[in-house]
Amino acid sequence: MRGGWRGWLHALLCVVIAVCLAALSTRFGFTADWSAKARATLTPQSQSLLRQLRGPLAVTSYARPGDLRTKTTLLVDRYRRFKRDITLKFVDPDFDPVATQDAGVTESGELVLSWHGREQHVADLDEADFSDALVRLVRGGTRLVAFITGDGERDATGSGAADLGEFVKRLAAQGVRALPLNLANAAEVPRNAKLVVLASPQAALLPSSVRKLEDYLADGGNLLWLTEPGSDGLGLAPLAQTLGIKRLPGMLLDTDSSIGSGDPRLLVATHYPAQAITNGFDVDTLFPQTAALAAMSGAEWNAQPILQSGARSWNQATPVDSAQATFQPDSGALKGPLTFGYALSRLSPSPARNQQRVVVIGDGDFLSNAYLADAGNFDFGERVCEWLLDDDALVSLSPTAPDRVLKPTRTELGVLTAGYLIVLPLALILVGLAIGWRRRRR
């Protein structure tokens, strides 16, 4: 009887402990993210955005009762973990069509974010669209970026392989609007342009156009200059002199980074010099046909490298057959590592800005439609633009999970198929037979 009493007491204590743990779990939560690069948690970029939002953020979801509301709640809860003053309210478009129409909502499930009198809409229920809306809230309006045209530059709205249409389209979701600018027709660079982009001109710029660019820099404007190998005779020497940047003749080659492609002209950047743009950036980027750059002494700019070739790279000044390219010291080739991207800064001549910024990169293909989706090309280009737009808090990378897409070979696919359809079922059957045999022997 005494042993039975102890057993009942032990069971009662277990029940009490379980109830206490259940009660504590409702007050104290713990979440562990074991996914690759913690992609089930908000990215550092989104967390940084939330830190910029001082004060409450109101989220209104115009969704009918059902799965959309559940999905919305899960999404907002991920942000609420890092910002407690986020409120979520649901409006049924069927029961309140007037409020839905007044909010400018056009589809079920659309969100409206409100913060300090500013509003932004979110159509897709994912972190990318939600955080893009936060970027627009932080900026407080559209940023105009002027893309120089008229001299064979890459088209900011084009869909061709060499154009920048896809890059600009993705920036537009974050409140950046492209403004075409033909310097031959314009009296000056528009004063409301936050950034000017000179992307790989093919024809020589007029001297008057170059002077307008120099005047823009003298007034404190920010510039992104994408140059290319062999871009001689374009009349841009005065601009390069103003910036203190020299493009070396020839092209960067690297047989190591071309492993897999077989083309030494295709550079793969895997390590980056320390700078605000590259801090925390650990994703490879791809640069086809790149020109090496050098910072000239005596310039009034603070020039910091942001892109460098590998130790086994070299700058080939003379034409070479890419299939048989090798480093030959006697040919005058310059051995790497060599810089092909600089971030320049100085005290801004404009009283409206504290710092003036310029980025010069020896390749424009990496942002083109043909290469934008490769590796971390878009992420790096986005960081460059954020820095040039003075959005330092937004200069961060959304981690790219390495296992989002599974691309097995035929052999691997066969092994997976046999394992799941044959080996695993047979193993389970054998285990079941073994357990049954042991039970019958008892």
CA 322 to chain centre: 31
Q: What is the pLDDT of residue 2?
A: 52
396: in domain: no
> Which CATH number do you get for residue 198?
3.40.50.880
Question: Both 92 and 148 in a single domain?
Answer: no
The pLDDT-based confidence of 28 (bands split at 50, 70, 90) is low
Question: Both 146 and 127 in a single domain?
Answer: no
**Domain interval for residue 356:** 142-390
Count the domains in the chain: 2
* Beta pairing class for 110-115 and 302-308: unpaired
Q: What is the pLDDT of residue 255?
A: 79
Convert the pLDDT of each residue in 368-408 to its tens digit.
999 999 888 999 999 999 899 987 666 654 444 444 455 66
20: in domain: no
Question: Both 93 and 211 in a single domain?
Answer: no
Question: Both 94 and 149 in a single domain?
Answer: no
Using alpha carbons, select from 110, 168, 105 the residue that is nearest to residue 142.
168
Alpha-carbon torsion (99, 103, 106, 107), positive or negative: negative
Convert the pLDDT of each residue in 248-267 to its tens digit.
988 998 877 655 566 788 89
Q: Which helix (H) or strand (E) holds 415?
A: helix 410-418
334: in domain: yes
Question: Both 248 and 381 in a single domain?
Answer: yes
431: in domain: no
In this structure, of 99-103, 151-155, 258-262, 291-295, the range with the lowest mean pLDDT score is: 258-262
Average pLDDT over residues 184-202: 93
Question: Both 194 and 278 in a single domain?
Answer: yes
43: in domain: yes
Among the candidates 112, 137, 162, a domain finishes at 137
Question: Both 308 and 363 in a single domain?
Answer: yes
437: in domain: no
Q: How far is CA 38 from CA 41, 119, 312, 379, 400, in A?
A: 6, 30, 34, 18, 10
